[in-house]
Amino acid sequence: MIARRVPRAGGALLRRTHPLANLLLLTGFLVAVLASPGLAVGLGALVLIVLLALASGEDARSFLRKSRFVISFALLLFVVQVLLAREGRVLVHLGVTLTDRGLLLGAQMALRFLVIVSSSLLFVWVTAPDRLARAIMGLGVPYRFGSIFVLALRFVPFFGEEYRTIREAQHMRGLDRPIRNLRALRRSIHYTLLPVLTAGLLRVDSIAISMQGRGFGLYPRRTITRQEHWHLIDLVPLGLSVSLMGAALLARRWAWP
């Protein structure tokens, strides 16, 4: 089992709130960035994600390191959209055509990708799977379905830890080569992606055998030893979720930029 990093004292805001409140906050981020037509709400949501991550015990340098791939892929989406778009007023025409509409669409696509993935990662970082399972089962959801959702959340940090382990092993063996062409990309997939997937399949197999040996699903109901209660601090993510959705509705109503 992968050990979860202990948050710093006094900086664990979303780690202490109700799991369902965090889930509603994630919903607010998704609705806000998908429903708003411009960039203002998306930029505000992205800044809010960073602030919430820092307030929940995430170190700024660690947060940026974990988000490198997300930022890189968002930049790639921006460049591709800018180069392919032909609508709007032409700004530059030197071998490639850049339009104002293309820049806006590229920024919107990249920003939406950043907010969706970053908010999802924030939810996974701050929400303990066991607490989320208890909260879901407390709503009357059958524990079989709740356990599937929780297992999916547990595999997110597992794949990250397994990837870091494989990369460290490659560094020790001198296999750290930059990806400059398709052949190098194929080698990287062969030596990195396949071992990660193999480790994931082995973990799935071991979990399935363990659950079968313990009689998982034998009874229609499962005893919950600890209930998740709502507290005053849960108003923070709930209020932020409502504010994000309200901002998205106002942006659509008044056509904010």
Note the pLDDT of residue 116. 92
In a domain, 137, yes or no: no
Sign of the torsion angle spanned by Cα atoms 54, 58, 61, 65: negative
Tokens of 26: 């994630």
Euclidean distance between CA atoms 115 and 119, whole angstroms: 6
- Return mean pLDDT, the chain: 80
Taking the whole predicted model, whether its pTM rises above 0.75 is answered as no
Structure confidence at residue 10 (pLDDT): 45
pLDDT for position 184: 66
* Pair 59, 95 in one domain: yes
Instruction: Return d(Cα 15, Cα 256) in angstroms, integer.
Output: 33
Our count of domains for the chain comes to: 2
Q: What's phi and psi for 90, nearest 5 deg? A: -75, 125
Determine, yes or no, domain membership for 149: yes
Whether 82 and 198 map to the same domain: the answer is no
Is the pLDDT at 91 greater than 60? The verdict is yes
227: region left, alpha or beta (phi > 0 left; psi from -120 to 50 alpha)? beta
**Which residue, among 234, 10, 22, 211, has the nearest Cα to 126 in the 3D structure?**
22
What does the pLDDT look like over 173-230, one tens digit per residue? 776 666 666 676 677 777 777 888 888 888 888 887 887 787 777 777 776 777 788 8
Range of the domain at 30: 14-128+230-257
